[in-house]
Structure 1
Amino acid sequence: MAHYIIEKRIRADGTPRYRCTVVIKEKTKVIYRESKTFSKQQIAKTWGTNQASKIEQFGIPQKNDITKLTLGNLLDKYLSDPNLGEKAGRTKRYVIQMIINSDIANIKLSDLKTHHIIEHCRARAASGTKPATINHDISYIGSILEVARPIYGINIDKTVVEDARPLLIQMNLIGKSQRRARRPISDELNRIVEKLQERQSHKYSKIPFVDILNFSILSCMRIGEICSLKWDDVDYKQKAVLVRNRKDPRKKIGNHMFVPLLGEAWTILQSQPKNNELIFPYNSRSVTAGFQRVRNKLGIIDLRYHDMRREGASRLLEQGFAIEEVAQVTGHRNLQTLWNIYISLFPNSLHAKFNKLKEKES
């Protein structure tokens, strides 16, 4: 049975808008969704009532009729596809859902033009969204439009995104994210470790924050990877562990990789209690939340948990490991990322080598 919901949204200029969404569910899955935004709540309510009544009377619109399907319908279809959207990463699903909740989702596929894409980007920029984030919107919309015809039989013009992209770049509405080079400086890491030690010593605390933080640096793993490691995947002979489904833009699932646990990383792993199939049986969000609270309390600015991965790679490069060897630990397929880290370290490493040579001469 069709029903509708109305959401009040406030634009950047402070004016209210009312988004009416007509939904049909089959068990727990959404099988049809149609939305439209209005300036007045009563108009939105009238439209929702009429649309729900039409669907009850005439049935669900034909699935592949682009004169009736909106962009939001297509995005919903993609998200609920077990071979596509359901296998997408958390970030991609979040971005697509955000687009579904925006005005561009109300545009019918037959009416979708390049200027709609540009208007969407203007609205996102006006709300304070950065060009790199808006670029994700455009990339995901483009990729979903591209699969619409061969997979769903929806004959839509996918060039609307391709035509918009150069203009969006020229208008500085989309762009690449700035390369981060942040590492803990001075005694930042020691201060964080000290506070994390206090946090984990609380009576009801269960997470070994210090062990996990040090393991993150030494293993160069993402926190999500660490909290998914299993005891059954530990190779005791090679002092390594199998990281399953490691992040790779070209391969979302099945990208398993044995990672050597160098030095203290192996010791930390061995010290964990074996009362769970997971080595670190904790919620990754809880780990990063604890880190962020401590960081904020200390007044440390712009240091993210993911920066620990860069810190670990930097330490290995500083110790003299080749880029190819470091990639065996970090899992980077594209060595350019590691090369960029190396370049940022290069001046200091040259000074260190020069000073050593001078010491030998004297």
Structure 2
Amino acid sequence: MASIRKHRDKWQVRIRRAGLQPLSKSFSLRKDGAEWARQMEVKADRAELPTDLKALQRITLADLVVRYRDTVSVKKRGYENERISLTAFLHHPICSKRLSDLRTEDFAAYRDQMLQTVKPTSLKRYLDPIHNLFEVARHEWGVPLRDNPLGRLKLKAPSQRRERRLLSGEWERILEAARLCRNPWIEPIIRLALATGMRRGEVLALEDNQIDLERRSLLIRKTKNGHARTIPLTVEAVRILGQLLRGRLGPLFPITRNAFRLAWERLRERADLGDFHFHDLRHEAISRFFELGLNPPEVALISGHRDMRQLFRYTHPLREGIIDKMDRSTS
């Protein structure tokens, strides 16, 4: 905030704002001083003035990471994975740097070092919360950072778009391998994922009070985009859920996310699935919904997509099916 006072035969203007270096200048005319003060206030609003290095010298990157992990990440649905990632990041020497000394060049060196052991897509996933951390620090915590040091960091990651669908015989091998699992919940989880197109976390979080078999509907309260949705159930989904609900209250699947992840990895190796991921069952289900003749709004109601462009990324009709339709249209 600017202050103007008469000092001898001059008008002295001082500007003080939290996180910025104090500014002062003298003028012969008061109106010139007031005009300069307005210009400096505008620059301050635009983050164009020098930051207060003393404030940044008191804070290390580790201080921000710990605060972000314990106050922001903890509120996220994917907190456990992000907590592990951020805690591991704290052991890197870059976290001992003070914010006054931290530059994009430091993260470029970190990027180059990490790329020797991890893929670009994995590194991007690790850096996403760090990038968001600086945005929160700048805009919500009042940390006087002029810009985000990760904002100009270049990291080219290949597209994660997948077109993997079940090949002939793979579904049978998946079920056969699932029946060999010691955990009895693996097979119904996999069957339900394909019958509904639900995400892994949505399936694992299911409870009995979300299901209405009479109306053939299922309420998904916690979703990736934060919007609850009610989906219609296929005959197969009703059959699976009917068996699971017999005499059960509360959670349908008493298994942790990590336990299921490990079980799936063993199953995938046993069934010789190659690069088939569990999330590909969602791709398969959505593609099958379209092949059944459902239109995009109807499929979006089931999948939960609010952006049609994202929905179509999950849609991979089998080429054989397209060829059959083309042949029928010309016969």
Normalising by the smaller structure, the TM-score range is: 0.7 to 0.9
1:197 aligns with 2:169: no
Q: Which whole-Å CA distance do the structure 1 matches of 2:276 and 2:322 have between them? A: 27
What is the match of residue 102 of structure 1?
92
Q: Which whole-Å CA distance do the structure 2 matches of 1:266 and 1:103 have between them? A: 53
Task: Please point out which of 122, 129, 142 is paired with 1:133.
Answer: 122
Task: Please point out which of 132, 154, 157 is paired with 2:146.
Answer: 157
TM-score, normalised to structure 1, is 0.70
What is the match of residue 313 of structure 1?
286
| Farther off after superposition, 322-331 or 206-215 | 206-215
Q: Which whole-Å CA distance do the structure 2 matches of 1:227 and 1:110 have between them? A: 45
Alignment of 1:82-101 (within 5 A): 84-88=72-76, 89-90=78-79, 91-101=81-91
Q: Which whole-Å CA distance do the structure 1 matches of 2:83 and 2:139 have between them? A: 21
CA contact (8 A) 1:207 1:282 kept: no
**Aligned to 1:299, what secondary structure does the other structure show?**
coil
Q: 1:265 to 1:133 in 2, by over 3 A?
A: same
Q: 1:219 to 1:283 in 2, by over 3 A?
A: same
What is the match of residue 184 of structure 1?
166
Q: Which whole-Å CA distance do the structure 1 matches of 2:318 and 2:170 have between them? A: 23
Q: Which whole-Å CA distance do the structure 2 matches of 1:109 and 1:229 have between them? A: 44
Q: 1:177 to 1:305 in 2, by over 3 A?
A: same
Q: 1:95 to 1:334 in 2, by over 3 A?
A: farther
Counterpart residue type for residue 208 of structure 2:
W
Count of residue pairs the alignment pairs up: 275
Q: Which whole-Å CA distance do the structure 2 matches of 1:347 and 1:185 have between them? A: 12
Q: 1:333 to 1:274 in 2, by over 3 A?
A: farther
Q: Which runs of 5+ in 2 are unaligned?
A: 1-53
**Aligned to 2:140, what secondary structure does the other structure show?**
helix
Q: 1:244 to 1:317 in 2, by over 3 A?
A: same
Q: 1:267 to 1:70 in 2, by over 3 A?
A: same
CA contact (8 A) 2:219 2:229 kept: yes
Q: What is the deviation of 1:237?
A: 4.2
Between the two proteins, what is the percent identity of the paired residues?
25
Counterpart residue type for residue 129 of structure 2:
Y
Counterpart residue type for residue 259 of structure 1:
I
Q: What is the deviation of 1:349?
A: 4.0
Counterpart residue type for residue 228 of structure 2:
H
Q: Which whole-Å CA distance do the structure 2 matches of 1:333 and 1:94 have between them? A: 30
What is the match of residue 271 of structure 1?
243
What is the match of residue 260 of structure 1?
232
Alignment of 1:316-327 (within 5 A): 316-327=289-300
What is the match of residue 186 of structure 2?
209
What is the match of residue 219 of structure 1?
196
Q: What is the deviation of 1:71?
A: 0.7
CA contact (8 A) 1:79 1:85 kept: yes
* 1:72-117 Cα deviation digits (max 9, x unpaired): 1101011111xx2211223333332332222221211111111012
TM-score, normalised to structure 2, is 0.76
Counterpart residue type for residue 211 of structure 1:
P
1:238 aligns with 2:215: yes
Q: Which whole-Å CA distance do the structure 2 matches of 1:77 and 1:179 have between them? A: 34
CA contact (8 A) 1:95 1:136 kept: no
Q: 1:314 to 1:105 in 2, by over 3 A?
A: same
Q: Which whole-Å CA distance do the structure 1 matches of 2:147 and 2:277 have between them? A: 37
Q: Which runs of 5+ in 1 are unaligned?
A: 1-63, 200-204
What is the match of residue 175 of structure 1?
157
RMSD: 2.2
Counterpart residue type for residue 125 of structure 1:
L
What is the match of residue 48 of structure 1?
none
Q: 1:187 to 1:100 in 2, by over 3 A?
A: same
Structure 1 or 2, whichever has the larger Rg, is 2
CA contact (8 A) 2:213 2:238 kept: no
